[in-house]
Amino acid sequence: MSTIAEYDDWDATRMAALVAKKQVSPQELLTEAMARADARNPAINAVVLRQDDTARQMITAGLPQGPLHGVPFLLKDLGAEAVAFPSHNGSKLLANTHYPRNSAIYERLAAAGLVTFGRTTSPEGGIGAATESAVYGGPTRNPWHFDHTPGGSSGGSGAAVAAGIVPAAHGSDGGGSVRIPASSCGLFGFKPTRARLPDGPYAGEGWAGMAIDGFLTRSVRDTALLLDVTEGADLGAPYYAPPLSESFCAALERPPLRLRVAMCDTTLTGAPLHPDCRRAVHETAALLEHMGHSVTPALPRADINGMMLAWTKIVACGTALWIEKTLAARGTALGQDEIEGVARGAMAYAATISGADYLDAVGKIHSFGRQMARFFDGDSSNGFDILLTATLAEPPAKIGRFAHTTQDYVAYRTGPDGIFAYSPFCAAFNASGQPAASVPLHWNDHGLPVGVHLAAPFGHDTQLMALCSALETAKPWFHRRPALATAPL
């Protein structure tokens, strides 16, 4: 039974303000979040590895007096290593992994006063656009329609937030893994500039610098605040993002400048989009023009296909690395059912890639980043400040379409019905390192969310955040909820 009738009306920022005023307690918020997980998670299979007693003990021991003091929270079950929160990392091979120390990102989240009480599902190795890992006993389902995926690889976080269990959750993004669930679940998802957030000490770099943490939220200001409390490189980081000229939250307090927007209503290779996605792009373009921005149809001149092939090689090698390190550490061979088909295929493909091939792939990723930088070129009279596209090429896929059963890893990623055909935009900005966001401005006639994607020049995170906030004001989405999120507990 719900004990806080207004819970659905509060984002994380509002919850923290109410806790500070002693109008609600951390214990009450945690109890409500856990009750919602008990009632709603069986339908979606998004929240796993519950640590309810640990969360209660955090509150009893005294939470840090940070800007998110007392707000219930969930970590993605991939990365965000924490002593108190063991992880499956989406894989039977890594089930019940315990950590000897906290990751930098978790330490910063904990210092903000968040009350973590569990983890959220992810696909094995984080390499899918759906979340259907065998270690969780079944697929994670989209709260808007249970037959559809909430996306991946932060699909559990997207589903948990969309279902109204928590106002915000942790995610990560190496090829769209925050923005794909944001688009699929009607949420806001923001990928910062490469190295804007810490990645250590467990990872030297994620997928040649392409992977970064992030968050799934119902409001723009929640993402801004979460980025502010986690922003900045950790000790010894191999990459370094340009310093911000203002905080993310400060960017919300000013209107964005008049921006030059490039509109692309096809994929980045010129292939057609699903009509729902194309319509979302055109309606957003009209809204941006109404807001005073300049919108011009344009298609970046960059080696998209070469980037995707290089991304596929790098991620295959990353997949092989974590599997081989795990097996070496325990000293036994890989069991028959310990990893899924796509991971086996990635291992086999990685075995064909030489060291020179790998370095060539990294070079192609960085070359692609320079090509995209020239397209934007903020100092040029014919450059752009923003690239507007759809987030996905079609509405959220049906459950099972991107299951990890196949061992043809390359076709799974790059085939005509593969993930890059379904999600042709997101990975481009992991490769280039640029900030990018999925904004929930559209729903189709079947009630499924259709996100729009905005990308900005490298380092221009707060300019992008200001624009997203302005779009939220112009076309609010906060109170648009799936039926599951409004059902009685």
Matching residue, tokens 């943490």: 213
In contact, 430 and 211? CB cutoff 8 Å: yes
What whole-number distance in Å separates Cα of residue 423 and Cα of residue 438? 12
- Per the listing, tokens 């921006």 go with 259
Catalytic (active site) residue 76: yes
Nearest CA to 156 out of 176, 174, 170 is that of 170
Residue located via tokens 């970590």: 75
Task: State which amino acid sits at residue 428.
Answer: A
d(Cα 340, Cα 326) in Å, to the nearest integer? 15
354 labelled catalytic: no
Is residue 117 within a helix (H) or strand (E), and if so which, with residue range?
strand 115-120
Nearest to 58 by CA among 47, 49, 67, 69: 69
3-state secondary structure 77-114: CCCCCECCECECCCCCCCCCECCCCCCHHHHHHHHCCC
The answer to whether the Cα torsion of 36, 42, 48, 54 is positive or negative is: positive
- The runs of H, that is alpha helices, within 331-454 are 341-350, 355-376, 409-414, 419-422, 426-432
Q: Of 103, 133, 153, 469, which residue is the catalytic one?
A: 153
423 belongs to the catalytic site: no
Pick the catalytic residue from 154, 157, 177, 184. 177
Q: Return d(Cα 311, Cα 236) in angstroms, integer.
A: 25
Catalytic residue annotation:
76, 153, 177
